[in-house]
Chain A
Amino acid sequence: MSKYQLRPVGDRALTVEFENEISRAVNQKVRALDHLLTEKKLRGVEELVPTYRSLLIRYDPLTVSFEQLERYIERAVSKASALQLPKAIVTEIPVLYEGEYGLDLEEIAQLKNKTVEEIIRIHSQSDYYIYMLGFSPGHPYTARFENPFSFRRRSTPRVKIPGGSIVVQLALSDIIPFDQPCGWNIIGTTPLLACDYRQENPFLLRAGQWIRHVPIDKSEFMEIKRQVELGEYKPRTYEKEA
């Protein structure tokens, strides 16, 4: 049975905290509890927000009390440890790694004494796991577990980088959904939108899924971009093998 702490967050929310570390094992506990509570739809539970090592639960205290939730969560955590979660989904993110679309590629390669091709191969050969979304709508917090590789930070952040930029820092890779300032290195650009409000489900990614970066060339980039702008593009997804 997983160890956890339950803490009130004001009078209409609480957080279930597992071990104080960022790891796939701990995040799986969050995922399992999130999955169970989402399926069960307990009356009074209004919203669930999975993060690295905790699950935030917004609830209506006029419908369900904190004590009732405490008991419910105790049973749920116990059940969740035995839960077989559905296979995770990998979403392919096409990336154009060149020229102005991969502004910092050469610099990254130089810093690591590698060629640009090697950097592209390193970045695209492994899946990145999505721990959670946040910071801005659709924005993933990711990490990779195989073939560890650390990308250096920039010494000076940029005031604005375009939405669609793929940025890297340390062991992380991010898709920037909208124009914003950023201190990470731009390794490539994707024609996909991490957040497209025109879609019924605007969000490309979800916590618990994986990302696979796939190198494409300029003409493929323009074609996919055209489809994305028309709202017609369907990203390629598949189940991740354990």
Chain B
Amino acid sequence: MAELIIETPGMLTTVQDLGRFGSARFGMSPSGPMDSVSFRIANILVGNDPKDSALEATILGPTVRFTDDGLIAVTGADMAPKLNSRPCPRYQAVPVRSGDILQLGAITSGARTYVAFSGGIDVPLMMGSRATAVQNKVGGFEGRRLMAGDRLSLGKPAYLPADTDPRHLPLPAPYANEAIFRVVPGPQEDAFTEAGRKTFYGSTYTVSTESNRMGCRLEGSVIEHAGDGNIISDGIVAGCIQVPGSGQPIVLLQECQTVGGYAKIATVISADLSRLGQCKAGDRITFQAVTLAEAQQAYREQERVILALEERFNHSWAESFVRRIGRRLAGKTI
């Protein structure tokens, strides 16, 4: 059984898959990758099923050793990855050999890097998902961040026909230290004065060091409430921006609590959530209101791009046929 050995764990490296959905009514938030677009691209490049799990590394990445041959892809923030001390291409499917060492360093821009392994990471499913809920200490690898000495089982790599061109994508530009996030106003925009709303849309906020997978705390101009900023606790999704009594907004993320009692002035649109996952302390953020229609159109377009990649790499007629044969030969069900 192929294994991944964690030699050094980096700052916060966890096993993630697309998320543990369906139990928010029980107080369980989905967890999953903070930058799901980069995560999905990594999986596509190595021929994985979209549901396969991969690693999310934060700020400073891990050093890992492979016990068997395989195929990997590194996406998201640039951690200057090295394979056996030589630069490792990003946004490309890279073959690895037994004994190889992959070393991820510190980010130069952005916050999170994804490493996908063909065949996925084989940790037990917890409530249908392999995502690690760091706060709730459950799922992924033993419900926690990876530590030196951890050994993760890897699934059998998908059979991919030899390409004349390795599977690769153009490198995205480095992440800037400032970004504009599109939001749909509300659900409690009327809990704020007009001055408060103007402040929110007109100010630049700085990501505080007290930010994590639960939420991005922002520092900047105080946002004025119409009342005391409290509401009867209701449901929350990733992207919701709550403003407690302090007047400083918090953008809630994939591990946020499922219900909360602070008024929510706006919600970051789905298409911008992945970019939010690349924010770190010190970054400067502004918000721009868009309509629901515009937000959904942006989501539609983003999905179209990702699905086109999936088609291009993993579902062309000939490849699909060869992959099916390959999976049968590798002992997997078709």
What is the interface of chain A, defined by CB distance below 8 A to chain B?
Answer: 7-13, 15, 17, 20-22, 46-56, 58, 61-62, 66, 132-139, 141, 195, 197, 202-203, 206-207
Contact = CB atoms under 8 A, between A and B. Distances in A.
27 contacts: A7-B187, A8-B184, A9-B184, A10-B269, A11-B184, A11-B267, A11-B270, A12-B299, A15-B234, A17-B234, A50-B25, A51-B232, A51-B259, A52-B232, A52-B233, A54-B235, A56-B235, A133-B25, A133-B26, A134-B258, A135-B257, A137-B26, A137-B27, A137-B138, A138-B27, A202-B26, A203-B26
B233 A51 contact: yes
A132 B26 CA distance: 8
Contacts of A22: 232
B126 interface: yes
Contact of A13 (B28, B136, B237, B299): B237
B234 A135 contact: no
Nearest to A26: B232
Interface residues of B, number: 40
Contacts of B232: 20-22, 51-53
B136 A11 contact: no
B268 interface: yes
A54 B184 CA distance: 19
A10 B234 contact: no
B277 to A, nearest CB: 15
B292 interface: yes
A58 B237 contact: yes
A66 B295 CA distance: 12
Contacts of A17: 234
Main secondary structure of the interface of B (DSSP, over half): mixed
B201 interface: no
A130 to B, nearest CB: 11
Contacts of A132: 25, 233, 259
A21 B126 CA distance: 36
B195 interface: no
Contacts of B308: none
Interface in B273-311: 292, 295-296, 298-300, 303
Contact of A10 (B127, B259, B268): B268
A134 B186 contact: no
Nearest to B298: A11
B240 A9 contact: yes
B70 interface: no
Interface stretch (B16-24, B158-166, B204-212): B16-24
Contacts of B127: 197, 202
Contacts of B236: 56
B317 to A, nearest CB: 25
Given A52-B233, A58-B237, A11 B295 contact: yes
Contacts of B299: 11-12, 61-62
The 4 lowest CB-CB distance pairs between A and B, nearest first, are A56-B235, A10-B267, A134-B259, A11-B295
Nearest to B303: A62
Interface in B208-237: 232-237
Nearest to B183: A10
B237 A11 contact: no
A107 B166 CA distance: 71
A49 B25 contact: yes
A134 B240 CA distance: 16
A8 B270 contact: no
Contacts of A195: 26
B235 A61 contact: no
Contact of B259 (A12, A49, A61, A66): A49
Given A10-B239, A134-B259, A141-B259, 15 more contacts: A7-B187, A8-B267, A9-B237, A11-B296, A12-B270, A49-B258, A49-B259, A50-B25, A52-B233, A56-B237, A62-B300, A136-B27, A137-B136, A197-B127, A207-B25
Contacts of A136: 27, 136, 257
Given A9-B235, A51-B233, A197 B26 contact: no
A49 B24 contact: yes
A137 B23 CA distance: 9
A66 B27 CA distance: 25
A58 B184 CA distance: 15
A180 B27 CA distance: 15
Q: Among the interface residues B26, B138, B257, which one has the most CB atoms of the partner chain A within 10 A? A: B26
Contact of A51 (B126, B136, B234): B234
Contacts of A9: 184, 186-187, 235, 237, 240, 264, 267
Contacts of B257: 134-136
